[in-house]
């Protein structure tokens, strides 16, 4: 709304917008599925009515079998973003490449950083972390803090020297703010990290979703071997047919 229509970038305007959107959804003027509004978190039990229901579930899974396209690649790639609300959007772009998307949720805990470093060491190959966040003092600080800590943990704990990690700031950057003529606002005076920050700030969401998708896709493909990718897709099709046949007919 801010980027495309010049909507006021204030808390009061945001509150009014949420109020009107909620009423429009209640009145069925806007479909409920058109807006994500997460509010309930739960854990599901993987239980079935009987063995036939379980077998039907396995057959459904087999028809949707996907090969890990990263397994044969030179690099392990992950996408990290600040806002959890953007995960579905980024996942849709990254999923065809088997690239997992994570939300840092602001300043990561030290445990989260160590978990990332441990995962990199366990996978055992050079890793690229693609980061998306707001262009502001906090967003820049998040990127620098995570990169510094994770790189130090990997260097200290890696089982062999070829395991490395590189962090790439995919969005939002100062150049992108200028290139797309995005609206900016002064850095928050209450943010202690604003000291020394020059210029305005901008939220990642000011970029249209299709532009964010294009930027992320280009960043992923820059590190991809598409000969290997094509081989994996061919193997995926054969293996899907084999798994489906086994579940439908049983072993011969």
Write down the residue that tokens 């854990």 correspond to: 43
Task: Mark whether 120 and 241 lie in a shared domain.
Answer: no
Mean pLDDT of the chain, nearest integer? 86
pLDDT confidence of residue 161: 92
Q: Which comes out higher in pLDDT, residue 219 or 34?
A: 219
Task: Mark whether 234 and 209 lie in a shared domain.
Answer: no
Choice among 17-26, 72-81, 135-144, 217-226 with the minimum mean pLDDT: 135-144
Task: For residue range 117-156, list pLDDT tens digits in order.
Answer: 999 999 999 999 999 988 888 777 778 888 899 999 999 9
Q: Which comes out higher in pLDDT, residue 41 or 228?
A: 228
Residue 108 has pLDDT above 70, yes or no: no
Residues 6+ apart with CB under 8 A from 247: 55, 58, 59, 62
- Cβ density class 138-150: b for 16+ within 10 Å, e for less: bbbebbeebbebb
pTM of the entire structure?
0.79
Residue 142 lies in a domain: yes
State the CATH number of the domain containing residue 212.
Answer: 3.40.1360.10
Mean pLDDT of 30-59: 81
Task: Mark whether 98 and 160 lie in a shared domain.
Answer: yes
- Hey, what are 226's tokens? 């598409």
pLDDT confidence of residue 229: 95
Residue 8: band (very low, low, confident or very high) from pLDDT cuts 50, 70, 90: confident
Residue 9 has pLDDT above 90, yes or no: no
Q: In which element (H, E) is residue 171 found?
A: strand 165-171
Task: Mark whether 87 and 176 lie in a shared domain.
Answer: yes
Task: Mark whether 127 and 103 lie in a shared domain.
Answer: yes
Residue 107 has pLDDT above 60, yes or no: no
Task: For residue range 37-46, list pLDDT tens digits in order.
Answer: 766 667 778 8
Q: Which domain holds residue 234?
A: 45-69+226-252
Residue 40 lies in a domain: no
pLDDT confidence of residue 190: 67
pLDDT confidence of residue 162: 93
Task: Mark whether 51 and 100 lie in a shared domain.
Answer: no
Contact 207, 175 (CB under 8 A): no
- Other CB atoms within 10 A of residue 55 CB: 13
CA 189 to chain centroid: 29
Task: For residue range 176-225, list pLDDT tens digits in order.
Answer: 999 998 888 887 766 666 666 777 888 888 898 999 999 999 999 999 99
The structural domain count of the chain equals 3
């Amino acid at each position: 709304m801010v980027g495309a229509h010049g909507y006021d970038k204030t808390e009061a305007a945001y509150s009014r917008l949420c109020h009107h959107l909620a009423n429009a959804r209640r009145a069925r003027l806007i479909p409920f599925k058109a807006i994500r509004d997460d509010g309930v978190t739960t854990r599901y039990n993987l239980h079935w009515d009987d063995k036939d229901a379980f077998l039907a579930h396995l057959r459904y899974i087999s028809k949707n079998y996907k090969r890990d396209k990263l397994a044969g690649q030179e690099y392990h790639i992950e996408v990290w973003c600040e806002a959890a609300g953007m995960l579905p959007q980024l996942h849709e772009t990254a999923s065809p490449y088997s690239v997992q998307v994570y939300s840092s949720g602001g300043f990561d805990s030290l445990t989260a950083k160590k978990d990332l470093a441990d995962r990199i060491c366990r996978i055992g190959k050079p890793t690229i972390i693609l980061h998306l966040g707001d262009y502001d003092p906090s967003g820049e600080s998040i990127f620098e803090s995570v990169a510094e800590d994770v790189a130090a943990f990997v260097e200290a704990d890696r089982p062999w020297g070829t395991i490395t990690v590189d962090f790439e700031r995919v969005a939002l950057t100062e150049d992108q703010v200028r290139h797309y003529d995005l609206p900016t606002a002064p850095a928050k005076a209450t943010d202690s990290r604003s000291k020394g920050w020059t210029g305005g700030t901008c939220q990642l969401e000011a970029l249209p979703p299709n532009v964010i998708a294009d930027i992320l896709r280009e960043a992923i493909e820059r590190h991809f071997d598409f000969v290997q990718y094509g081989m994996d897709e061919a193997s995926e099709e054969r293996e899907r047919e084999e798994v489906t046949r086994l579940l439908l007919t049983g072993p011969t």
